[in-house]
Amino acid sequence: MNLKPHPESWPGVDARWSKTLRVTSTAAVDAGATHTWHFLDNLSVLQEQGIEPVGTILAVHGNPTWSYLWRSVLSAGINAENPWRVVAVDQLNMGYSERTGSNRRLADRVKDLGDFTAALGLNQTELPVVTLAHDWGGLISLGWALDHRDLVKAVTLTNTAVFHDGAEKIPAALQLALNPAIHGWGTQKTSTFLDVTLHLAQKGGLSKQVYKTYSAPYKTTELREGIRQFVADIPAGPATESYADMVRIAEGIKNLDVPAFFQWGTKDPVFQRRYMADLQKRLPQADVHRYEKASHLVMEDEDIATPLFDWLEERFLWKQTGRQAHEKARLELSGSASSVFRPMVSELADRADDSSLAVVDMDSKDETKIAATLTWAELAADVNRVANGLTALGVKAGDRVNLMVPPGAKLTTLIYACLKIGAVIVVADTGLGLKGLTRALKGARPDYIVGIRGALVAAKSMGWPGKLIGAETSMAAAQKKLGAIATLADFTDTSENTSYTVNPEDDAAVLYTSGSTGPAKGVVYTQRQIAAMRDAIKNTYKLAAGSGLVAGFAPFALLGPALGATSVTPKMDVTKPKTLTASALGAAAAAIDATTVFASPAAMMNIVKTVGELNHEQKLALAKVQTLLSAGAPLAVPLLKAVQTLVPNASIHTPYGMTEALPVTDVSFEEIQQALADGERGMVGAADGVCVGLPVFAAQVRIAPLDETGQPVAETSQEPGVTGEIVVAAPHVKDRYDTLWATERISTSTPGWHHTGDVGHFDEAGRLWVEGRLAHVMVTGQGVLTPVAAEQAAELVPDVRRAAVVAVGPVGSAVPVAVVETDPLAKKAGPASSSLSRKVRQKVAEQTGIELAAVLAVREHPTDIRHNSKIDRPLLAQWANKVLSGQKAKVK
């Protein structure tokens, strides 16, 4: 049975792409029979435009879709700079290809694809062939690739699977489809299976016309026979007919030594993350990009074509791949290639006989009491004990180990034990919440999770990947009942194992970002890079062995032992920095005679509020502090002044950095005051944003100027007064984002440099000023504007406690709007009073030249719009837009 295609009615398809071809079958099911194939092919359009393709992409759909699935890729292939012929097939019994009347199994479909490519002449091409597949097209295309090793130069995949362990249950959706009571009815007699699949599209679903186009070749029971056959052929276990063929292909691709690229929607209920992880093990060379908001039809939810062709460009047009070019430039810029590598654990080895304090734990209930201590000798022995215990369990170099343990001696021991044996620590802040943690850990896919009892409960209930190890030294039976294969209490061997070695370029850690600007991203550091972070801190702040470090900011708690500093974490909920009180900070400082304090901005605000709780001893201890650092969002001058009274003899610093590069620049309170004074004297670039100072040890900073659309240009600059994206190069900049290839490519679009996503400029003294996030840049009728300077100006109005400036309206003609928190608090969210609006507008215009279109007031920028002290301006802009357009809107 043949269908007549009507490509002129298919949204997103050029009718010239639609082709048919008569092909003789060699498949066992009907060898010698001739069938009509329908396919989409952009070659004729390329030829009409006089464009020679670089190669051919062979795109294979799954069930119950057809070649229409690949329309964005076909369109993107018609590109004079990176042209590719794209051939997207309709498999037999599917789409607009012939209904053969025969039941085609996996082996038949692999043969079918070979018959088609031979008839098309693709088997004789001298140009590279790249496979692209989705769903069950993954197995079929990879089977074809194994049969055509001489042709295939790369494989690319979207959500699919190549192997299913018969001992595991297949996903629930497929179990239901295979149920004998439902199978025929759901897949063929009705359009249920088709409809359910098409409804998996996210972001509002498919348009009516697109939905209709996908459904068109499956209107009748007879036309849906191929859908039923595909489901029936799922190799769910060894007894199924195609299981052996699946195993052959799954094992065969382990030797398929060609470049690979996966793009994956992580919300897919069918081809779940476990199938992506399996593919990564079989094709470890693969680059991966995950889409956290995409489901099964990832190509309908996200633009997969742009990353695909960017990847192909790197692989087939550049003499050197983008990754290699970036790495070469990074090493040249940072000097990492020639620098001496000193592992993070070296300090422990050097001080293995030292009886002085290394780590102090404060009591979790009484902030003034010490709960436990470790000397350097005890810490070194404990690290040996845990390292040996983990090794005995099977943990090896390169394995990922998620640590779900509160900051303190236990976490310190675990971190350095993992670093010692070369295991990769995975650190995801519990402040992300269960949903955020689950997303992060399913993305990182640790091999092991070491956690306290609550973490083990969460791991089991949320399905986190990894074997469980209990971190509690008591309640071993309870932890093992939760599924722990061992507990730290089982580890007893404290001997020094000299066989442990680490390669400087091996992965050392995956640190998750806060998630304040979207889903948290895994940031990968190598052993060399994490050691370089230690060196940047040490050399910038002159931290010497013997220093006392209060770590009120979790990331810095990791560095204490490597710096040779005695470290203590004050009593606080590390997921809620605002829980750190002045007395808890003072008690921690007193416990170790602290010389240095690290704390977040949110913590500093609460410390200042609770300063009246300090006792005499705590005040004396804080008076001994020589350096205080507050990393994260910048501190306002009034808050800095208040902090200075708390630590009167300390030099207060507010380093600028991010998870990807911590720190980047440094500035002291005195230097901030000088910069503001320079601004009053008219120095170019001064007092226009937040001054974050000069680059830290071994770091370089440049600006990628913004064009008229608010996007950074390729060339970088150090000229004063030029606003653009801040880019940084340093030995301690991250290696890459974990399984986020497209994000990583954007962040390293200037080889050797990390694009931070922040915007700013230099002043005449070479100091860096931050003006906001690139995502918050406003392209308005007044030109390209950044928010921070206008926000600071608004906050000079006495009744304004905090301000956010956002753009409302279409890009290019949008207007800037201020949303302010007031003091006293606004009675309700909405337009500010005429008096306050006039004052804010006037002050912003005087200070920055920006003409605000409106001023809105809120009681507080809500907690789900900001992360601690960071305002989520895009969400706030949505609210402002509704208010100004007369709609009822609540501040969420």
Asked if residue 471 is part of any domain, the answer here is: yes
63 Cβ contact list (under 8 Å, min separation 6): 94, 135, 136, 197, 226, 227, 230, 231
**681 inside domain:** no
**Higher pLDDT, residue 261 or 871:** 261
Q: What is the CA radius of gyration of the chain?
A: 30
Among candidate residues 291, 316, 341, the one where a domain is terminated: 316
* Domain finish residue from 483, 502, 521: 502
- Closest to 820 (Cα-Cα) out of 799, 835, 834: 799
Residue at 737 is within a domain: no
* Cα–Cα dist 539/688, whole Å: 29
Map residue 339 onto helix, strand or coil.
coil
Residue 594 lies in a domain: no
Q: Are residues 87 and 220 in the same domain?
A: yes
What is the extent of the structural domain holding 248?
7-316
pLDDT, residue 885, reads 87
Tokens for 532? 């370089």
* Confidence (pLDDT) at 318: 65
- Is residue 765 helix, strand or coil? coil
Residue 309 shares a structural domain with residue 365: no
Peptide bond into 824 cis (omega under 30): yes
Do 301 and 364 lie in a common domain? no
CA distance 669 to 683: 19
- Give yes or no for residue 867 having a pLDDT over 50: no
- Residues 182 and 34 both lie in one domain: yes
Give the CATH number of the domain where residue 468 resides.
Answer: 3.40.50.12780
Query: What pLDDT digit, counting tens, does each position of 821-861 carry?
Result: 988 888 888 899 999 999 999 999 999 999 999 999 988 77
**What is the rounded average pLDDT of the residues 217-241?**
92
In a domain, 672, yes or no: no
- Residue 322: predicted pLDDT: 62
Q: Encode pLDDT of 294-349 as tens digits.
A: 999 999 999 999 999 999 998 887 655 666 676 777 777 777 666 789 999 999 99
Residue 344 in any domain: the answer is no
Does the pTM exceed 0.85? yes
- Cα 831–Cα 815–Cα 690 angle in degrees, nearest 5: 90
User: What is the reported pLDDT for 142?
Assistant: 98
In a domain, 179, yes or no: yes
- Are residues 142 and 285 both part of a single domain? yes
Of 260, 292, 316, the residue that ends a domain is 316
188 in a structural domain = yes
Residues 297 and 405 in one domain: no
56 plus 202 within the same structural domain: yes
- Chain segment 369-423, per-residue pLDDT in tens: 999 999 999 999 999 999 999 999 999 999 999 999 988 899 999 999 999 999 9
Q: How many domains does the chain have?
A: 3
The fraction of the chain above a pLDDT of 90, given in percent, is 73
What CATH number has the domain bearing residue 119? 3.40.50.1820
What is the CATH classification number for the domain harbouring 861?
3.30.300.30
361 and 296 housed in the same domain: no
Residue 749 one-letter amino acid: S
Whether residue 364 is found in the same domain as residue 231:
no
CA distance 65 to 68: 8
Q: Are 139 and 60 in contact (CB under 8 A)?
A: no
**Same structural domain, 279 and 403:** no
Distance in angstroms (rounded) separating the CA atoms of residues 50 and 27: 37
- Cα of first residue to Cα of last residue in the chain, in angstroms, is 55
How many CB atoms within 10 Å of residue 627?
20
- Are 124 and 217 contained in the same domain? yes
Task: Let me know whether 119 and 209 are in one domain.
Answer: yes
